[in-house]
Amino acid sequence: MSAKKIVQLKENPAVTNFREYLKISSVHPDVDYSGCVEFLQRQADSLDLPLAIYHVVPKKPIVVLTWRGTEPSLPSILLNSHMDVVPVFAEKWTRDPFGAEKDENGNIFARGSQDMKCVGIQYLEAVRRLKAAGAKLCRTLHISFVPDEEIGGGDGMKAFVHTSDFKALNIGFALDEGIASPTEEFALFYGERSIWQIHVHCPGTPGHGSLLHPDTAGEKLRVVIDRFMDFRQKEKDKLAANPALTVGDVTTINLTMLKGGVQANVVPPELTAVFDMRLAVTQDHREFEALLQSWCKEAGRDVHYDFELKNKRNAITALDSSNPFWMAFKAECDSLKLKLKPAIFPGGTDSRYVRLVGIPALGFSPMNRTPVLLHDHDEFLNEKVFLHGIDIYERLIPAVANVSV
């Protein structure tokens, strides 16, 4: 028997299951979710759990496996993951991005290995172990697999949370994705920043490029860029000065587009700058908008803006005794000696929609000592880290599902 064959025979069935899910290429654009649904139906059958499929729009299935609790009238626990993955640049990968190859160190390479097919399978495998051990949970568990998170969740969780189907699940607390951590610590996310994307228009006196007209678009644009970039620098300094802060704790501003002009010797009637901004959860929205207005006024006559995107202030999940699910989660992490690093998520996840309807949600992917490779080439997860994640959920799931108040 070859050495390779022996390795295959020894593989933990949970790892085999994970690799099988990774091989289903649920990749954007135009994801075909049918392979995922078939796979999840087989999982539900093997776990002896009912599976429901909801649709907010056709061809965008929201798959929910349910393990009924002994006290089903109590608000339930949602374990959420998304089925879709971001596109790959196959030529930049050293392996097949949908091959789920495992190297001699146990690293499993595939798109979605970190973001976030790992977590979906870890939930299922933890439940498999709990059921096999005869465990009974007080609260009902809903394990959801949603579409389109990577394109904003518009046809997925964003819409689903407002349906009667979602309300009928009676969810009291949710777990969703986090990010890998290269250190011993585990990242834990309790909130997200608000996204504002703004177009600042600077109209001015047009004319010939050889003259010095007053009130030109370029002079105004300079002031606009200066003010936005000065603010950016202050936030950058704040972040650099305090090692306890992460980028999610500050307001970020980036100049992303510049528009205007027709010809090198013509002073244009308007120049426009586009900025992407992520407002820290501590940022007062009204104050910040007043600041933007003052910058425009300072830049000169008729400088104005419009929003491409303007998120409302996102709800954050309390990490204190007012949140019994957090207390149970934290106590269990402490007894497992897991070091948690609470933070505000730097990007956006489906958690924000869940929090928006008043449900506390934590973003947690149990992957420490792992390089952060979400959306990157050669995304991988080590099988030992993956399996340890199942051990962790095997403890965390009962902890939150048995919260009695």
Q: Judged by CB, which is closer to Zn ion: 115, or 249?
A: 115
State the nearest-atom distance from the C-beta of 149 to Zn ion, in Å: 6
Gap between the Cα atoms of 190 and 318, Å rounded: 7
397 HSE (CA, 13 A, CB side): 31
Question: Has 383 been annotated as catalytic?
Answer: no
Q: Which is nearer to Zn ion, 149 or 383 (CB)?
A: 149
Q: Which C-beta is closer to Zn ion: that of 379 or that of 383?
A: 379
Q: Of these residues, 115, 148, 149, 192, which one is catalytic?
A: 149
> In the bound complex, which residue of the shown chain has the CB atom lying closest to Zn ion?
115
Per the CB < 8 A criterion, the answer to whether 167 and 76 are in contact is: no
CB of 364 to Zn ion, least distance (A): 12
Smallest distance, Å, CB 375 to Zn ion? 9
CA–CA distance from 15 to each of 51, 106, 110, 389 (Å)? 22, 10, 13, 12
The residue (of 68 and 375) whose beta carbon lies closer to Zn ion is 375
User: Which residue number, 177 or 235, has a Cβ lying nearer to Zn ion?
Assistant: 177
| DSSP conformation letters of 317-345 | ---STT-HHHHHHHHHHHHTT--EEEEEE
Report the alpha-carbon distance of residue 10 to residue 65 in Å, rounded: 29
Coil, helix or strand at residue 214? coil
When the beta carbons of 50 and 154 are compared against Zn ion, the nearer one is 154
Provide the minimum distance between the beta carbon of 361 and Zn ion in the complex, in angstroms, as a whole number: 14
Question: Per DSSP, which regions of 336-389 are E strands?
Answer: 340-345, 361-363, 380-382
User: Could you count the other beta carbons within 10 Å of the beta carbon of residue 33?
Assistant: 22
Task: Report the 10 Å Cβ neighbour count for 239.
Answer: 15
Binding site residues, Zn ion, CB under 5 A: 115-116, 177
Element (H, E) at 400: helix 383-401
**Length in residues, the chain:** 405
C-alpha–C-alpha distance, residues 141 and 69, integer Å: 7
334 among known catalytic residues? no
Q: Please state the closest distance from residue 58 (CB atom) to Zn ion, in A.
A: 23
CA 143 – CA 145 distance, rounded (Å) = 7
Least distance from C-beta 82 to Zn ion, angstroms? 6
Task: List residues with catalytic annotation.
Answer: 84, 149
